Structure 1
């Protein structure tokens, strides 16, 4: 038997004002689109802003449904929209902001497992890492240089 040790590394910014200017703008767009989320059941709003290599920004917010599995997370709304509208563009950066209507969300909220897998699909497809910045409604912002930090040992088409 052998043991595998997996280590992940994140950069931690005290708040969004510590981010590079272009990332501050992307985070602000994630915050603004978060406010437009359709979250009548969970009251938990998430916004995602994606910067593409063609200079375009694509936004997404979570969209809930009374039939819970029919809803979609903000990250996937934005990723799939980017893939549909700009199929040849590479995703460079994703900024994510999450907030609860009822409780302060002051710690960084990473993408859920389904969103991690969706990001991994696009990162594998484009053969280039995607920077991911994520935060709560305010406070610290975490940066991952690749989805591999959030989803080590990922599943992709080479496994089929």
Structure 2
């Protein structure tokens, strides 16, 4: 038997005001994208903003459907949009913000498992990590240096 210890790192900021200027700007874009979510069923809106190496900022929001499995999370909307519009351009940072119509979301909301795997595919493909910042509607912001920080024991094409 082999016992290993998995470690990860994150920086937790009190709120958006503690972020560096570039990170604040990107999170503000995620908040704006969140307001464009189509979430009539869950009433849970998520926005994402992605900064590319060429300076472009791509936006995405969750898009629900009455046939629940047919909807899509903001993180996958934004990463696939970037991949389609700017193939080969490196991703530098991703910001995510979530809000509920039912209650105040005052703690950070990270990507779901499916989104983590989709994000990792792009990080693996570009052979360099990208930062992820996430928050709720207000309050703390979590910043991680890489998708691998959120997804240890990642699955990539080396297994295929």
TM-score between both structures, scaled by the size of structure 1: 0.99
Question: What's the CA shift string for 1:61-113, capped at 9, x where partnerless?
Answer: 00000111110000000000000000021110000001111111000000000
CA distance in 1, matches of 2:7, 2:89: 30
Q: Unpaired segments of 5 or more residues in structure 2? A: none
Aligned to 1:64: 64
- Which residue matches 2:129? 129
Q: Structure 2 CA distance, aligned partners of 1:147 and 1:128?
A: 10
Q: Distance in 1 between matches of 2:92 and 2:18?
A: 20
Q: Distance in 2 between matches of 1:107 and 1:7?
A: 22
Query: What is aligned with 1:46?
Result: 46
Q: Distance in 2 between matches of 1:117 and 1:100?
A: 24
Q: CA deviation at 1:3?
A: 1.2
- 2:17 aligns with 17
State the match for 2:84 in structure 1.
84
SS at match of 1:23: helix
The 3-state SS of whatever aligns with 2:106 is: coil
Whole-Å Cα distance in 2 between the matches of residues 130 and 64 of structure 1?
Answer: 27
Q: Secondary structure at the match of 1:99?
A: strand
**Alignment partners' CA distance in 2, 1:138 and 1:118:** 26
The equivalent residue for 1:139 is 139
Aligned residue for 1:4? 4
- Residue 111 of structure 1: aligned partner: 111
- C-alpha distance in structure 1 between counterparts of 2:81 and 2:38, whole Å: 17
Q: Compute the TM-score of the two structures, normalised by the length of structure 2.
A: 0.99
Any idea what the Cα deviations from partners look like across 1:31-52, whole Å, max 9, x if unmatched?
0110110001110000000000
| SS, match of residue 154 in structure 1 | coil
Cα distance in 2, alignment partners of residues 154 and 45 from structure 1: 27
In structure 1, C-alpha distance between the alignment counterparts of 2:130 and 2:39, rounded to whole Å:
27
Residue 54 of structure 1 and its aligned partner are, at CA, apart by: 0.5
